[in-house]
Amino acid sequence: MSLEYTSGEMMTVTAARALENGTTCFVGIGLPSEAANLARLTHAPDVVLIYESGTLQTRPEVLPLSIGDGELCESALTTVSVPEMFRYWLQGGKINVGFLGTAQIDRYCNLNTTLIGDYKAPKVRLPGGGGAPEIATNAGEVFITLKHSPRAFVRDVDFITTLGFGRDGKGRDNVPNIGRGPTRVISDLCVMKPDPEDHELTVVSLHPGVTREQVQEATGWDIRFADNLESTPEPSDRELEVLRELKARTERAHAGQ
């Protein structure tokens, strides 16, 4: 542990570590994609990465800018149509982990990527649901990664684009054929998990040097801390080196275009 690292790197490394080798992972673009590829290049060489563009089991050399970069197809085992991707692979139950980012998340892990404000007269119109609504319900479980801020971590999202555990924490109760939902949220400050009883998001691990107060300040509700609050293990030198090489390769590749 000799290398210095940023809170962003801490977040990515921690998110990457969540992915077990051999898992099939439906990967969102951006932070989830960065974490999933870091996992593949470090402890999880046989993690299967699937992007909604239809690329099955892809091994990109550099991070894709878009969900459908050519690199994803060229390095994939095969590429299927988008209807097939959503029908056979996601809804068909072949995905262990859906790895998502979001604009807003609330205390019951509901995600909002639709809009800020009122639906009819939005203050900010966001891109929309994309694949997330069905990734969150059809994958075996869901990991979420995003940066901590009071605008991102809100008590109640303005709009539930994607189900966490609903407005009351009970949104998955008695629903047949649904995945376990969010099992962990990784930010640049900490790791959170839904409480096993009422599903309220609870900090289970603080990143090194981060205080409870910092997490609370960056969260839009009174966030709970686990009784046995842990300290997130630091990134290893190898993880940092691989991540930095990946990002440098990516930057070079995209600048060239």
Partner 1 sequence: MAEILSLHDAVARYVEDGATVAMEGFTHLIPVAAGHEIIRQGRRDLTLIRMTPDLVYDQLIGAGCAKKVIFSWGGNPGVGSLHRLRDAVEKGWPHQIEILEHSHAAMACAFEAGAAGLPLAVLRGYVGSELPSVNEQIKFIECPFTGERLAAVPSVRPDVSIVHAQKADRAGNVVVEGIIGVQKEAVLAAKHSIVTVEEIVDDLDTHPNACVIPGWAIDAIAVAEKGSLPSYAHGYYPRDNRFYKEWDAISRDRDAFTRWIEDNVIHSIGRHSTDGAQSGGSVQ
For the annotated catalytic residues, the residue numbers are: 52
State yes or no: residue 58 binds partner 1 (CB under 8 A): no
**Stretch (H or E) spanning 83:** helix 82-84
Q: Which of 125, 151, 155, 238 binds partner 1 (CB under 8 A)?
A: 125
Distance between the two ends of the chain, CA-based, in angstroms?
Answer: 36
Nearer to partner 1, 132 or 186 (CB): 132
State yes or no: residue 74 binds partner 1 (CB under 8 A): yes
State yes or no: residue 12 binds partner 1 (CB under 8 A): no
State yes or no: residue 151 binds partner 1 (CB under 8 A): no
In Å, the largest CA–CA distance within the chain is: 52
Q: Which of 90, 142, 192, 243 binds partner 1 (CB under 8 A)?
A: 90
**Stretch (H or E) spanning 216:** helix 212-217
Using CA atoms, how far residue 212 sits from 77, 206, 217, in Å, is 44, 8, 9
CB of 108 to partner 1, least distance (A): 10
Query: What is d(CA 84, CA 120) in angstroms, rounded to the nearest whole number?
Result: 33
Q: Which of 5, 26, 86, 143 binds partner 1 (CB under 8 A)?
A: 86
Sign of the torsion angle spanned by Cα atoms 186, 139, 102, 48: positive
Nearer to partner 1, 54 or 235 (CB): 54
CB of 86 to partner 1, least distance (A): 4
